[in-house]
Amino acid sequence: MNTSAILPGATIGILGGGQLGRMTAMAARSMGYDVHVLDPDPMCAARAVATQTLTAPFNDAEAAARLARACDVITLEIEQISRASLEAAAEFAPVHPGADAVYIIQDRLRQKRWLSDNNFPVGAFREADSADALAAIVAEFGPSIAKACHGGYDGRGQARLSDANAAVDAWKSLGQQPCLVEQRIDIAVELSVLVARRANGEHVVYPPSRNHHTDGILTWSVTPAELPASVLRSAEELAPAIAKALGIVGLLAVELFLTTDGQLLVNELAPRPHNTYHHTERASATSQFEQLVRAVCNLPLGDPRVIAPGAIVNLLGDVWLHDTQPDIEFALGVPASRLHLYGKAGARPGRKMGHLSAVGDSSQEALSRVLACYRRLSPASALAAGLSGPPPQLRAADGALSVELAAVDRGNAAPWRGPEDNDTDREDVG
């Protein structure tokens, strides 16, 4: 393998030109790289930052090859790139992360099976290949979530079932295709952890983020997560172990559930920048976008430490669809706040249009500020998201963790303790 660095002046190709591609392109441009992008939408968010935008579907292998011919390295911002496209691009430039890892991750069922087969902790799941099979699984599991194998994101491509009677409608809503069925998990806290990894196996792990979702879509995220040390440790060990097993070069985000009985379970993986690490542009010594550039260009990885607690709240299309338009001027009066807009034309419900960020002296201050900013921007959206009242408290008034989390910290529950095999060479990285 060629291990020399790809230096500024070179061209980075990004498969996908959404907001993640746009913010990666901005980081790359700051460092002096040129950027080309491939996306099916000629008006994609990254177009304003890339010198060339190729308009083609993600399964157009010939177009992926054309992108790669003009670039020194290829990365991606979305996992729904066909294997044929990744392989065609790899004929002309290194593709990071590679086709094998992306292929495992891009199908939700294949990904869950891989995690389970490799002894990473996941909740109960099955494959359903008919409405009857789905009904039988839900009869066994109780409340469940059926997820389409391909193409779902931000809660789309999912059906929540409270009992087996819902199976026929759910099966239809998911396009009558084989799907992943998960037992509904009693979640105490959602968190995520991000690892960056170079071709030589060197890696850095970002401190976990604590995340809040509404109707399957991320609402806010804060770092540091302020969770029990045992949970943080487990999360910080899990992510590089998964990245190593997948052979990831670039970024891997691991979404995790901490269950009410104290287990740490993997929800899903993303081999790219992640919405729950957008605060790294403000909060961290190295943003996730710069880190991706460093990792795929084989440069020394940046320091992932938090330099100021930070938080974000997502701005969905809904913000622009109320009678009252967003009040940007009023919102930006909140100290240490920033507006990030992705340059997307056309606000639609649930479409990610941008985010707000804030930093503070503590995670609580950063979160309170960003939510205050959101309430000023769009009181109607804040109300709809249940965020119009006082901000959620990350800790009780006396500074203690909540009851469930305190139980975890006392060691009453056993989060992940490492792979069962004798993975002795884990220290070779990092």
Name the minimum Å distance from CB 179 to ligand ATP. Answer: 12
User: CA-CA distance, 79 to 104, in Å (whole number)?
Assistant: 10
User: CA-CA distance, 346 to 342, in Å (whole number)?
Assistant: 11
User: CA-CA distance, 161 to 134, in Å (whole number)?
Assistant: 10
Figure out which of the listed residues 11, 221, 267, 287 binds ligand ATP, where binding follows CB under 6 A: 267
User: Which value, in Å, is the radius of gyration of the alpha carbons in the chain?
Assistant: 21
Figure out which of the listed residues 88, 218, 293, 401 binds ligand ATP, where binding follows CB under 6 A: 218
Contact 76, 249 (CB under 8 A): no
Contact 161, 235 (CB under 8 A): no
User: CA-CA distance, 124 to 105, in Å (whole number)?
Assistant: 18
In the region spanning residues 189 to 208, those forming contacts with ligand ATP, defined by CB under 6 A, are 190
Number of residues that bind ligand ATP (CB under 6 A): 19
Figure out which of the listed residues 213, 233, 322, 426 binds ligand ATP, where binding follows CB under 6 A: 213
Residue 187 is a binding residue for ligand ATP (CB under 6 A): yes
Residue 258 or 366: the one with the smaller Cβ distance to ligand ATP is 258
Residue 147 or 294: the one with the smaller Cβ distance to Mg ion is 147
In the region spanning residues 179 to 198, those forming contacts with Mg ion, defined by CB under 5 A, are none
Residues in the chain: 430
Residue 155 is a binding residue for ligand ATP (CB under 6 A): yes
Contact 177, 148 (CB under 8 A): yes
**Partner that binds at residue 123, options Mg ion, ligand ATP, none, CB closer than 5 to 8 Å by kind:** ligand ATP
In the region spanning residues 225 to 264, those forming contacts with ligand ATP, defined by CB under 6 A, are 255
In the region spanning residues 64 to 83, those forming contacts with ligand ATP, defined by CB under 6 A, are none
**Partner that binds at residue 146, options Mg ion, ligand ATP, none, CB closer than 5 to 8 Å by kind:** none
User: CA-CA distance, 79 to 27, in Å (whole number)?
Assistant: 20
- Give 70's DSSP letter: T
Cβ burial, residue 97 (10 Å; 0-12/13-18/19+): buried
Name the minimum Å distance from CB 268 to Mg ion. Answer: 5
User: CA-CA distance, 245 to 111, in Å (whole number)?
Assistant: 13
Residue 392 is a binding residue for ligand ATP (CB under 6 A): no
Contact letters for Mg ion, residues 250-289 (x by CB under 5 A): -----x----------------------------------
Contact 315, 331 (CB under 8 A): no
Contact letters for ligand ATP, residues 114-143 (x by CB under 6 A): ---------x--------------------
User: CA-CA distance, 353 to 355, in Å (whole number)?
Assistant: 7
User: CA-CA distance, 65 to 192, in Å (whole number)?
Assistant: 33
Residues in touch with Mg ion (CB under 5 A):
255
Residues in touch with ligand ATP (CB under 6 A):
123, 145, 147, 152-155, 182, 184-185, 187, 190, 213, 216-218, 255, 267-268
